[in-house]
Amino acid sequence: MVTRKVSIADIGERAGLSITTVSRVLNGKAEQYRIGKKSQQKIKEAAEELEYIPNYFASNLKSGKSRTIAIIVPSLTNPFFAGFASEINSEVRRFGYISIIGDSDENNETEKLELQQMVSRNIEGLIIAPCGNQFEHLKKLYEQGLPIVCIDRYFEHLDIPYVSTDNYDGAVTATKHLIENGHSLITCIQGIQQSTPNLLRIKGFKDAMEDAGIKSYNVVGDDFTIQNGYLETKLLLQQKEIPTAIFTLSNTIAMGCIKALKENNIRIPQDVSVITYDDHQYLDFLETPITCIAQPVSDISKIAIKFLFSRLSNDENRTKQVLLKPEIKIKKSVRKIN
Amino acid sequence: MVTRKVSIADIGERAGLSITTVSRVLNGKAEQYRIGKKSQQKIKEAAEELEYIPNYFASNLKSGKSRTIAIIVPSLTNPFFAGFASEINSEVRRFGYISIIGDSDENNETEKLELQQMVSRNIEGLIIAPCGNQFEHLKKLYEQGLPIVCIDRYFEHLDIPYVSTDNYDGAVTATKHLIENGHSLITCIQGIQQSTPNLLRIKGFKDAMEDAGIKSYNVVGDDFTIQNGYLETKLLLQQKEIPTAIFTLSNTIAMGCIKALKENNIRIPQDVSVITYDDHQYLDFLETPITCIAQPVSDISKIAIKFLFSRLSNDENRTKQVLLKPEIKIKKSVRKIN
DNA sequence: TGATTTTGTACAAACGTTGATGCAAATATA
DNA sequence: TATATTTGCATCAACGTTTGTACAAAATCA
């Protein structure tokens, strides 16, 4: 900025009052410090006229409070996570906070670097969908006192709060839906293998299969990306025996899968049925709307924010871990077979 | 944070050197101030051991530099803008800066509020896709010396730098494509009417139509949203004469349009052809991949950042306004008719 | 050997806030 | 009327940096 900024000193001068008084009025502590009505009025007017904009850096330096929350998601271009970012971003502002958004690009090192940067900005809290199964850096920060809430992905054996969905339940529901529609030759394309949601989804898948007496099934893949979905599907299609249904463990995997199927002229659901974890807007616009296990993004975001701010205000330490019920949204990608 | 943070004073103590010296070494000004090699070494080691993380608030307060860039887009859940946010976000970090992302929600007031918040954080620069045709707040900030670069949407008659695509050219290309495929009954669904890109696209559309000797055409709509696309298409379908082709001026409008067509069992392109401005990943996965005028998001982002940082470092004031060439991506949504 | 230059570092004053403390003036109480 | 209380505000010292300046000690020179 070229023009010098207006400081509370300028306001004080104009109003004929001290810096301290200005600070108190502008911070809503007028009552607490018994500042007279007239003085309050004068200060507010002066601030208005001078178009005062507080300098957060100065106030943070003094107070140690940055009024900043960090959000880290694995990929902003994934509409599922963009949804989280957007929701949380606007929710945070309602508390007078601001958020800085980081994109870890599904890369642990990037995640750490982002986090470092953010910590040096004195973030007061962090909402993160961790990209991998590494958690040391998070654990350390959490133990140092940084409030953290994990969303979507989390770590079962740590006491870092999280808000996610019941991944096991969702996977069971999805698998049962396929089985009820007559499928038994099912392949599951998974994401990052050691991540908690993935483990639980796989467990749900396996349990549902075995409960139905189906002993043989395939689990392939290793990443929550379009490429992984595409590649694994391409490989699948080269096998002698093509499954009648595919269960993809994320919307990105689903997109890759669909692309591969389309390239090979395999129709959904006539030739292969598809069901996926995660919903998003664009899933409805596809050639065949894809049946999915939808996570309540908005609810998760709001609860996560609530956890974070209750921790920030009450300094309440009780670890909160919540799993919401996912919902199956039946669209048109699963065919009933004999 | 509960544990007290490490300050340069702690490092100084450990290294047996003064705060000043520590600051200079850590800021790479050791040579300039002739700090001895040994001292540099000691300081770096101490910083390492103590896991020093600089306090940006203090340094910014003193230096006035926040190393923060603001990004404001109309909607983070629109993959087109999420793409910008993601690109710019990571690009900015390469300069040692951080970015804060705002979502104006296509609302002028929200945009102003976001901006206010950001300015109070001493942002050093702003990259914005303004939501409307109001620009006073931007103009003012720009004149006060805040470096601003507009992307996608901009203001023709202001000297605020911008990076966008040649909207006129893109619209002409799209319209010609329809005409060459035999269409003459074409409706255009537009976005925010007074916005520069919209005006230019409409101009391109009209010019192309009239150049082809087509006198009668429709322009409807007033918002870059899915709802607008949906509603206007619904209305269109109630008319006696349904157009043979629809030209939507954004990907969101296109999605709404497609939804409405689908609901009414109107096939693309057999019954109605569709072409749209803006590309994105998911457009390829639709039932009928939609032919579109693609904007080079990555290039735009990179150039915008380049403009911003050249301004920041050289304090170079030359206004830079660039229009990149959009590219038509022919997919399957336009049918050749007699 | 004394004067001059170079080298290496420290001191102290900001930056714009906040918060503890202090102290008159105004008001209430005895 | 003298004392106690309340009201309304100002003074001052931080917060963790950066930066202009000052100043010994070491090295060089005459």
Region at A284 (left for phi over 0; alpha for psi -120 to 50; beta for the rest): alpha
B38 Cβ within 7 A of any nucleic strand D atom = no
Cα–Cα distances in angstroms (integers) from residue B210 to residues A100, A134, B175, B187, B216, in the given order: 48, 61, 11, 14, 9
Our measurement of CA B74 to C1' C17, in angstroms, reads: 33
B298 falls in which pLDDT band (50, 70, 90)?
very high
pLDDT beyond 60 at A2: no
User: Which residue is associated with the tokens 């072409």?
Assistant: B275
Closest Cα to residue B222, out of B175, B258, B189, B188? B189
Chain A residue with minimum CA distance to B4: A144
Model confidence over A5-45: pLDDT tens digits?
A: 789 999 999 999 999 999 999 988 888 888 989 999 999 99
pLDDT band with cut points at 50, 70 and 90 for residue B94: confident
> Could you give the percent of chain A with pLDDT greater than 70?
98
Domain ranges of chain A: 8-54, 66-165+297-325, 167-295
Question: What Rg value do the Cα atoms of chain A yield, rounded?
Answer: 25
* Strand B186-189 versus strand B218-220 pairing type: parallel
A36 Cβ nearer than 7 Å to chain C strand: no
The pLDDT value given to residue B315: 60
A66–B86 C-beta distance less than 8 A: no
CA-to-C1' distance for B46 and D24, Å?
Answer: 26
Both tokens of A80, joined, read 């599922």
Asked if B302 contacts B63 with a C-beta cutoff of 8 angstroms, the reply is no
A8-54 and A167-295: identical CATH topology: no
* Confidence at B212, pLDDT banded by 50, 70, 90: very high
Both tokens of A61, joined, read: 């330096």
How far is Cα A276 from Cα A254, in angstroms, rounded to an integer? 6
Count of Cβ atoms closer than 10 Å to residue B327 Cβ:
14
Tokens of A78: 């994934």
Mean pLDDT of A122-151: 91
Mean pLDDT computed over A253-262: 94
Taking CB atoms and an 8 Å limit, are A77 and B86 in contact across chains?
A: yes
Give CA–CA dist B230/B252, Å, rounded: 9
Closest approach of chain B CAs to the CA of A97, in angstroms? 9
Q: How many helices (H) and strands (E) does chain A have?
A: 12, 12
Domain covering A8-54 in this structure, CATH number:
1.10.260
Q: Average of pLDDT values for A195-210?
A: 96
Distance CA A276, CA A182 (A): 17
Q: What percent of chain B has pLDDT over 90?
A: 65
Option in A57, A144, A286 nearest B1 (CB): A144
Amino acid at site B138: L
Of the candidates A320, A336, A322, A334, the residue with the CA atom closest to the CA atom of residue A292: A334
Q: What is the 3-state secondary structure (H, E, C) of chain B?
A: CCCCCCCHHHHHHHHCCCHHHHHHHHCCCCCCCCCCHHHHHHHHHHHHHCCCCCCHHHHHHHHCCCCEEEEEECCCCCHHHHHHHHHHHHHHHCCCCEEEEEECCCCHHHHHHHHHHHHCCCCCEEEECCCCCCCHHHHHHHHCCCCEEEECCCCCCCCCCEEEECHHHHHHHHHHHHHHCCCCCEEEECCCCCCHHHHHHHHHHHHHHHHCCCCCCEEECCCCCHHHHHHHHHHHHCCCCCCCEEEECCHHHHHHHHHHHHHCCCCCCCCCEEEEECCCHHHHHECCCCEEEECCHHHHHHHHHHHHHHHHHHCCCCCCEEEECCEEECCCCCCCCC
Contact call for residues B12 and B21 (beta carbons, < 8 A):
yes
B180-206 pLDDT, tens digit each: 999 999 999 999 998 899 999 999 999
Nucleotides of C under 7 A from a protein CB: 7-12, 14-21
∠ Cα B278 B279 B284 (to 5°): 145
pLDDT at B2 (0 to 100):
42
Buried b / exposed e along A301-317 (16+ C-beta atoms within 10 A): bebbbebbbebbeeeee
**Under a CB-based contact definition with an 8 Å cutoff, are residues B143 and B302 in contact?**
no
Rounded CA separation A156/A172 (Å): 19
CA-nearest of A296, A299, A305 to A70 is A305
Are the Cβ atoms of B82 and A83 closer than 8 angstroms?
Answer: no
Min distance A80 CA to chain B CA atoms (Å):
9
Please tell me the total number of residues recorded for chain B in this structure: 338
Cα–Cα distances in angstroms (integers) from residue B237 to residues A223, A264, B268, in the given order: 43, 35, 14
> Measured over all CA atoms, what is the biggest interatomic distance in chain B, rounded to whole angstroms?
87
Give the separation between CA A96 and CA A8, rounded to whole angstroms. Answer: 20
| B17 CB and strand D closer than 7 A | no
More confident residue, B90 or A231: A231
pLDDT for the residue numbered B82: 92
pLDDT confidence band for B1 (50 / 70 / 90): very low
The per-residue pLDDT for A153 is 92
- Helix, strand, coil percentages (3-state) for chain A, rounded to 5, are 45, 15, 40
CB-count burial class (<10 Å; 0-12, 13-18, 19+) for B294:
middle
CATH architecture of B66-165+297-325: 3-Layer(aba) Sandwich (3.40)
The torsion region of residue A108 among left (phi > 0), alpha (psi -120 to 50) and beta comes to alpha
Nucleotide nearest to A53 (CA to C1'): C16
Kindly indicate the confidence band of residue B255, based on its pLDDT and cuts at 50, 70 and 90.
very high
* Cis status, amide bond into B269, omega within 30 of 0: yes
What is chain A's mean pLDDT, rounded?
Answer: 91
CATH superfamily for B167-295 is Response regulator (3.40.50.2300)
Which of B56, B60, B103 is opposite residue A89, by nearest beta carbon? B103
Phi-psi bin for A69: left (phi > 0), alpha (psi -120 to 50), beta? Answer: beta
* Angle made by CA atoms B111, A299, B254, in degrees to the nearest 5: 55
Q: Residue-wise over B242-277: b if at least 16 C-beta within 10 A, else e?
A: ebbbbbbbbbbbbbbbbbbbbeeeeebbeebbbbbb
Sort A287 into a burial class: Cβ within 10 Å, 0-12 / 13-18 / 19+: middle
Report the run of H or E that residue A85 belongs to, with start and end: helix A79-93
Residues of A with Cβ-Cβ distance to B93 under 8 angstroms: 114, 117
Pick from B237, B326, B222: which is nearest to B276 by CA?
Answer: B326
User: Do B267 and B244 touch, CB atoms closer than 8 A?
Assistant: no
Contact of B142 with B160, CB cutoff 8 Å: yes
Shortest alpha-carbon distance between residue A88 and chain B (Å): 11
- Whether the pLDDT of residue B133 is over 70: the answer is yes
Contacts of A63 (CB under 8 A, 6+ apart): none
Q: Over the stretch A60-74, which tens digit does the pLDDT of each residue have?
A: 888 878 888 999 999
Percent of chain A predicted with pLDDT > 90 = 64
Structural contact between residues B121 and B64, judged by C-beta atoms closer than 8 angstroms: no
Q: Which helix (H) or strand (E) holds A139?
A: helix A136-143
Q: Looking at residue A1, what is its pLDDT?
A: 39
